[in-house]
Amino acid sequence: RTVYVNGEYLPEADAKISIFDRGFLMADGVYEVTSVLGGKLIDFEGHALRLQRSLSELDMVEPLGRDELLEIHRELVRLNAIEDGMIYLQVTRGSAGDRDFVFPDPETTRPTVVLFTQDKPGMADTPVAKVGIKVISIDDIRWGRRDIKTVQLLYPSMGKMMAKAAGADDAWMVEDGQVTEGTSNNAYIVKGNKIITRELSSDILHGITRAAVLRFAREAQMEVEERSFTIDEAKQADEAFVTSASTFVMPVVEIDGAKIGTGAPGTVAPRLREIYLDESR
């Protein structure tokens, strides 16, 4: 695999980062995941804009312009012959050559930029989407700026492990009795003809897929309500689903062992998945 590190395209085995990189020592970095379908980047614009926002919220300098970023994404797709898959991008505050809590001087420290591809042939046609996934609920104990896409992913990672141990696929996180989001996706329920998902705030990541799916839903005359909901309400819903760059729209058929609706994907989530895939490809 060919990867990109700080201006160079290299075989992955030759890519090097300093052990003093603040991404490594302090999780002082942000990331984006953009999917590729049929060799085409999905929602690149949204991911580039959110990256810009994450960087600015953390007082990090933007290492590359939008056009350069797009060029690198395209070049990696080409070099690795990616039909379907993902591009992972990470920008860290870089290394000041020592460990220090204080941010290094942005004039003398350059951010570290890393991109690599993940090949996922046929990812849009995954059989999982036909049966849906099971989730458990866990406490949301993450920090208060979940709108910044930082690489602090230990708790989400632990959440996936808790789900796995419970025989489920993922976890929905709950704070003050309300669902915030999934470990790596936004969470939704459907009641009647209404799609309900938590409103945007610093409590959740502002999903790029979320924005697109809600726009398509409204265009298709579906009703959308942006508000928080409880696990109890979710268990009583007709359908549930999640969205993310890596899963698109994925039906959720069970929450904490309780079947949602019939326990099989309903009509709304599969329809949104189809619309999303059709419109973005």
Task: Tell me which residues are annotated as active site.
Answer: 149
When computed from its CA atoms, the radius of gyration of the chain, rounded to whole angstroms, is: 19
CB of 107 to ligand PDD, least distance (A): 31
For ligand PDD, which is the closer residue by CB, 104 or 113?
A: 113
Comparing CB distances to ligand PDD, the nearer of 95 and 184 is 184
Pairing of strands 248-255, 133-139: parallel
Q: Applying CB under 6 A, which part among 72-80, 106-114, 238-246, 260-268 lies near ligand PDD?
A: 238-246
Among 33, 58, 162, 174, binds ligand PDD (CB under 6 A): 33
Question: One symbol per residue from 157 to 196: x for binding ligand PDD (CB under 6 A), - otherwise; what is it?
Answer: ------------------------x--xxx----------
Q: Which of 22, 160, 210, 273 binds ligand PDD (CB under 6 A)?
A: 210
Tell me which residues in 93-132 interact with ligand PDD (CB under 6 A). Answer: none
* Contact set with ligand PDD (CB under 6 A): 33, 181, 184-186, 205, 207-210, 243-246
